[in-house]
Amino acid sequence: MTFFKKNGWLITLAIIALLFPLILPNQYFIQIGILIGIWSIAVYGLNLITGYIGQLSLAHAGFFAIGAYSLGLLTLNAGIPFWAAFFLSLAITAVFGLLIGLVALRTKSHFFAIYTMSVGFLIYLVIYKWDELTGGVRGLIGISAPDGIGPVTFQSITSQYYFVIFFLLVTIFLMRRIVHSLLGRTFTAIRNSEDLAKTIGISVMKNKLLAFVLSSIFAGLAGILYASYIRFLGPEIAYIEVAFEILLYLLVGGIGTLAGPLVGTIIVVTLTQSLQFLEEYRMLIFGPIVVLLILFYPQGIVGQYYMWKMKRNFKKKPSIHAGKENSVKEARS
């Protein structure tokens, strides 16, 4: 019973996600579901470094592109089977995350954000200019879909949806375990005060670097899933605009919350797709809506819900104490 109470929202999410293609068997809605799943994984990665460590990374689109292009190049140019390329791509993204993090994390505050933004733009330029390796503007075409596992294949749109949802649920599960573990509390202590964390013996640099590498791995995983679903890549996936879109999903949902990345991605992606018929004019409606959300819900939708819940519980406590005092007085009389 305790397990279901603690993991109720995750179990509910899993059930809804599994039943979604049966409830709405429309290919368009399933495609939106796939995109929500992919971008949610990337946002969860950003939430780890930004929400729990307090470092605003703007290189996330770059790591997303590294994961995607690694899979494409390994399967197309090197002829490596999908699953071997899958894990190699994660390893390559982790190595880039480690190397970039070693330098980036020596900077602080807005200098860290500027540095990571510059790194992200540099990754974009490398992809755009290095024709011989990445295909430049032409990009990579014909990336293979995931290889089947036994009788299970991933050729249909529905099977690809479940493929992405599996990794989304694994991501949420791992994030929950991290956040509620000693490691997660260490991350939060560093976010609250690096100096105080040092005084109690926490290795700040080591833990920040670990969070940065984990964050890049999740971004790389999202890129890998994107490449295997879209089947072609262009340099635009590494552009700084993508990094700001991922940040927007997190801001709308709620920084430093477990459900925030998913809620924000669902809302923004659904809203964006709903306004596609307006073409370039959709930002005239979408922009003000997002601004109002951030103005009136600065903690994000999920963060604001937690704030409301805390206030409600706080208001209930005096009445409980008052009830106890009255019962004591009645007993004495």
Taking only the tens of pLDDT, the chain with its 333 residues reads 555 555 666 778 778 888 888 888 888 899 999 999 999 999 999 999 999 998 999 999 999 999 999 999 999 988 899 999 999 999 999 999 999 999 999 988 789 999 999 999 999 999 999 988 888 888 899 888 888 887 888 888 999 999 999 999 999 999 999 999 999 999 999 999 888 999 988 999 999 999 999 999 999 999 999 999 999 999 999 998 899 999 999 998 889 899 899 999 998 898 888 877 776 677 777 778 777 877 887 788 888 877 787 777 777 665 544 554 454 344 344
Distance CA 79, CA 75 (A): 5
pLDDT of 162-182, one tens digit each? 999 999 999 999 999 999 999
CA quadruple 210, 212, 216, 219: dihedral sign: positive
Residue 46 half-sphere exposure, CB side, CA atoms within 13 Å? Answer: 35
Buried b (16+ CB within 10 A) or exposed e, 77-98: eeebebeebbeebbebbbebbe
Buried b (16+ CB within 10 A) or exposed e, 248-283: bbbbbbbbbbbbbbbbbbbbbbeeebebeeeeeebe
Q: Any idea where the domains of the chain sit in the sequence?
A: 2-298, 305-333
Of 167, 196, 179, 191, nearest to 39 by C-alpha is 167
Q: Which residues pair with 233 in a beta bridge?
A: 140
Q: What is the pLDDT of residue 309?
A: 77
Q: Are 261 and 44 in contact (CB under 8 A)?
A: yes
pLDDT of 101-133, one tens digit each? 999 999 887 899 999 999 999 999 999 999 888
The CATH class given to the 2-298 domain equals mainly alpha
pLDDT of 235-265, one tens digit each? 999 998 899 999 999 998 889 899 899 999 9
